[in-house]
Amino acid sequence: MKKIININFHSRVIPIEETAYEILQQYIDSLRLYFAHEEGRDEIISDIENRFSELFAENLKKGAACITDGDVNAIITSMGRPEEFEGEEAGTTADTGARASAGAGPAPGYTAGASQQSYTNAPEEPRRLYRAANDKVLGGVCAGLANYLRLDPAVVRILFVLISFGWGFGFLLYIILWIVLPTRALVANARKRLYRNSDDRVIAGVASGLAAYFHIDVWIPRLIFALPMILGIFTSIFQNVFFHMFHWGGHIFFDGFGGSLFVVYIVLWIVLPEAITASEKLEMRGEKVDLESIKNTVKSDLETFKGRAKEMGAEMGERMQQMGQQMGQQIRQSAQSFGTEAGAAVRKSNNGIGHAIGVLFKAFFLLIAGLIAFSLIIALTAVAFSTDGLLDLKHYILDGFWQNFLAWSSFALFLVLPVVALLTWLIRRITGMRSRKHYLGYVFATLWVIGLISFIVLVGMVMSNFRVRQHSEEEIALSQPSHGSMVIHAQQPTGRIYDDDWWFEGDWRHHGPFYNISDDSILLTTVQVKLLKSDDSSYHVRILRISRGNSSGSAMDHARQIVFPVSQSDSILLLAGGFPVSKDQKFRNQQVIVAVYIPIGKKIMIDRSVNHYEWFNLNPNNRHFHWEKWDSQWHDDDTWDEGSNMDNSYYWNSNVQYIMTSDGLSRVGEDRPEKTERPEKKERPEKKEREEAPEKSQPDNNGYRYKAPEKPARKTNADTPAAKSTTMLMVRRSSQFILLSTLCNTL
């Protein structure tokens, strides 16, 4: 019982036994090999195939159902096996031509010449420089040179490309040689040739071709090509990620070594032919090209092909095989007819400039796709790494087992896992391991989705912890300063600056709201000093402690836990440097507002030391965490420029004395009304209504104090005024919070 396949063999449809087909294939391959050094190789083989097909057709006409092994063998016997062929094995046109012109030379000379003809395949040709007509990318100059120098054409091509890229005159040289040199079908005379190995490829088979050429494992060249990219990932993580998160990009590809390797790959892709036929595959490995080895190669080719076909299902496989063969046949045929008509043997795999352009296009798209994948890896790694930084703070934010659990699972599954998966995939591609376990991908995907879900849940839970804002208020007992003026100082925080860590840099440390005072607590400096007009004749100081929580009760608890001591010695009011928040206490965006009420006619000065307070407001109610700058309320946003304001603020700040007038604060010694001044943000001289409001209303709680009490609607929801009036997203260098809010936004 034998399987019969249909082949399109020289425009005849031939039903043929599969085994017979293999015999035929092997025979043709052996012919191809035998005539490898023959100028009219393709034509000869085409003629022979044609004859085969004719004889097959005759057999079928006689009533045979299909072509059997016997039929094929019979025809092969009549055709003769290559080793039985007689004639000039290595006969070249040069020989024939020489003989033709020599004509009927003296008989002894002729016989001598004939007896000299050996059975080796080495053509005895005068070495001259030609352009290769049969093995060309552009004009065949390189192949011609290679033939002359007895080198692999690929080597010459690579050199040419490098010279052209490097100095430009290579191209000129090429054009000149193209014009000057005569064309000629040439026989490759290098034993070993560089090919692209199409059987084992990631992109174009360049690396595996190199591996075959040098007899090394395929992962070595792959790693060499991929290493700059992998290294690029890591260097970019360490150098670029945190502070140039949005600037990393393609430059890694084009940076130095990696870039040149990338170019080398593309050049090789263009320059190297693909090893298609059995003899080419043997040449690629530098193995001896003889009948036996070619038979083996063809056999193993067929076997792997069969194996694959079986895997895909016999039916499907067969159809594919047929299709492939038919297509191959047709291509070959058209190439052949073109070849015969043009009178030149054109190698089908090398159609010159079209190939080069095609490769460049492919490379371009691959580059784009590569960049995208690459960006993805870097972005994910960056997020994973900076989240690792956030983990230090997680004790202050996360509450309870579930939140911690979710934090870990989303960190591991949502951020780290994709990086691992991508790297795994990359390494597998490089080492050429083919995964037979397709479920691995599903497992990765499922875990990632779990990570995503837990991340979303976590964000929701954390945000709910910041849902409600509450404050408690307390009046500080004050003894009235004797000179009618008061100076406000703040203690400098003593703890190590929290973010003084390898992953933070630069300005952040000077502006960051976190100071680390011990292992399990941080010092917050979200403190504001507000100056208000007192409605009686004495100074008052009120401390407002604000916190968020998931309920008004817990928010109030958190607020009450804030410890913010204020001490007074006569005219000096000394504020604490900040307030500690412990891991148990949790970070709930606690804030302190120090409201100083200044009676009319009395002076106030705020010391520079107060500047280290850093105010920010996380407001989850807009569905985002906003980093809000409280002060923006008191500055006209149009003209507010942070940099210049900072400069000004120092000037204004350094012990500038203000006096409270009935119109508000004004600088001592100047008549200018307060309005024209640019108050420094920390110092915040009043907006009038704002100040007056609290005094009037001010019983207790039940509302946000500094918002106009005459609008009770606002009081009920403590957060909204802040949210609405001060929606200024701080785009500072504070990467953690940017990151956090970016994450939230993207979700």
Partner 1 sequence: MNIENTQSQMRKGILEFCILSVIRRGEAYPSDIVEEMKAANLNILEGTLYPLLTRLKNAEMLTYRWVESNSGPPRKYFSLTPKGEAFYGELEATWNELANAVHALTQKI
Judged by the rule CB under 8 A, the positions of this chain that interact with partner 1 are 10-12, 31, 35, 38-40, 43-44, 47-48, 50-51, 53-54, 57-58, 61, 78-82, 84-88, 91, 93, 96-97, 100, 103-104, 107, 110, 114-115
8 A C-beta contact, residue 158 and residue 268 = yes
Alpha-carbon torsion angle 264, 266, 268, 272, nearest 10? -170
Question: Facing residues of 582 across strands?
Answer: 521
Q: Which is nearer to partner 1, 109 or 484 (CB)?
A: 109
Element (H, E) at 517: strand 514-518
Q: Bridge-partner residues for 592, per DSSP? A: 527, 545
- Enter the tokens of residue 549: 């929580």
Q: Identify which of residues 70 and 105 has a Cβ nearer to partner 1 in the complex.
A: 105
Query: For partner 1, which is the closer residue by CB, 88 or 670?
Result: 88
Q: Nearest distance from residue 16's CB to partner 1, in Å?
A: 16
What CA–CA distance (Å, rounded) separates 506 from 514? 15
Pick the closer one to partner 1 by CB: 18 or 125: 125
Provide, rounded to whole angstroms, the least separation between the CB of residue 309 and partner 1. Answer: 29
Nearer to partner 1, 103 or 126 (CB): 103
**Minimum CB distance to partner 1 smaller for 293 or for 333:** 333
265 alpha-carbon distance from chain centroid:
19
Shortest reach from residue 249's CB to partner 1, in Å:
57
Residue 108 or 256: the one with the smaller Cβ distance to partner 1 is 108
Q: Which is nearer to partner 1, 87 or 126 (CB)?
A: 87
Counting other chains too, the contacts that 512-520 makes at CB distance below 8 Å and 24 or more residues apart are 512/614, 512/734, 513/614, 513/615, 513/616, 514/393, 515/577, 515/578, 517/493, 517/580, 520/395, 520/582, 520/583, 520/584
Minimal distance, residue 63 CB to partner 1, in Å = 15
Helix (H, G, I), strand (E, B) or coil at 334: helix
Which residue number, 82 or 123, has a Cβ lying nearer to partner 1?
A: 82
C-alpha span between 628 and 616 (Å, rounded): 5
Min. distance of Cβ 161 from partner 1 in angstroms?
A: 33
Which residue type occupies 668?
A: V
What is the C-alpha to C-alpha distance for residues 601 and 534, in angstroms, rounded to an integer?
10
Count the neighbouring beta carbons within 10 Å of the beta carbon of residue 256: 9
Stretch (H or E) spanning 596: strand 591-598
Query: Taking the complex as a whole, how short is the minimal distance between the CB of residue 291 and partner 1, in angstroms?
Result: 14
Between the CA of residue 384 and those of 229, 379, 387, 455, 481, what are the distances in Å?
Answer: 19, 8, 5, 13, 54
3-state DSSP helix/strand/coil % of the chain, to nearest 5: 55, 15, 35
Q: Rounded CA gap, 551 and 548, in Å?
A: 8
Nearest distance, CB of residue 133 and partner 1, angstroms? 12
For 35: left if phi > 0, alpha if psi spans -120 to 50, otherwise beta; the answer is alpha
Cβ closer to partner 1: 58 or 641? Answer: 58
Q: Contacts by 334-338 with C-beta closer than 8 Å and gap 24+?
A: 335/42, 336/42, 336/43, 336/46
Closest distance between partner 1 and the C-beta of residue 294, in Å?
Answer: 16
Q: Please name every residue paired with 274 in a beta bridge, in sequence order, or none if there are none.
A: 196
Can you tell me the distance from the alpha carbon of 739 to that of 319, in angstroms, rounded to the nearest whole number?
54
Q: In this complex, which beta carbon is closest to partner 1, that of residue 43 or of residue 255?
A: 43
Cβ proximity of 703 and 712 under 8 Å:
yes
**Maximum pairwise Cα distance, the chain:** 140
- Which residue, 86 or 292, has its beta carbon nearer to partner 1? 86
CB of 182 vs partner 1, minimal distance in Å: 16
- In the complex, the smallest distance separating the C-beta of residue 276 from partner 1, rounded to whole angstroms, is 22
Could you tell me if 489 and 480 are in contact, meaning their C-beta atoms sit under 8 angstroms apart? Answer: no
- CB closer to partner 1, 41 vs 281: 41
Shorter beta-carbon distance to partner 1: residue 44 or 261:
44
Least separation in angstroms between CB 77 and partner 1: 9
Which residue number, 33 or 660, has a Cβ lying nearer to partner 1?
33
Q: Which is nearer to partner 1, 42 or 680 (CB)?
A: 42
Closest approach, Cβ 194 to partner 1, in A, equals: 29
Q: In whole angstroms, how close is the CB of 90 to partner 1 at the nearest point?
A: 11
> What angle is formed at CA 121 by the lines to CA 116 and CA 124, rounded to 5 degrees?
55
What's the closest the beta carbon of residue 30 comes to partner 1, in angstroms?
Answer: 10
Residue 601 gets the label, from left (phi > 0), alpha (psi -120 to 50) or beta, of left
Q: Tokens 């000065």, residue?
A: 605
- Quick check: helix, strand or coil at residue 265? helix
Q: Which tokens go with 593?
A: 């507002």
- For the bound state, the minimum distance from the C-beta of residue 97 to partner 1, rounded and expressed in Å, comes to 6
Q: Quick check: 543 and 566 in contact, CB under 8 A?
A: yes
Nearest-approach distance from CB 12 to partner 1, in angstroms:
5
Residue where the block lists tokens 């591996």: 211
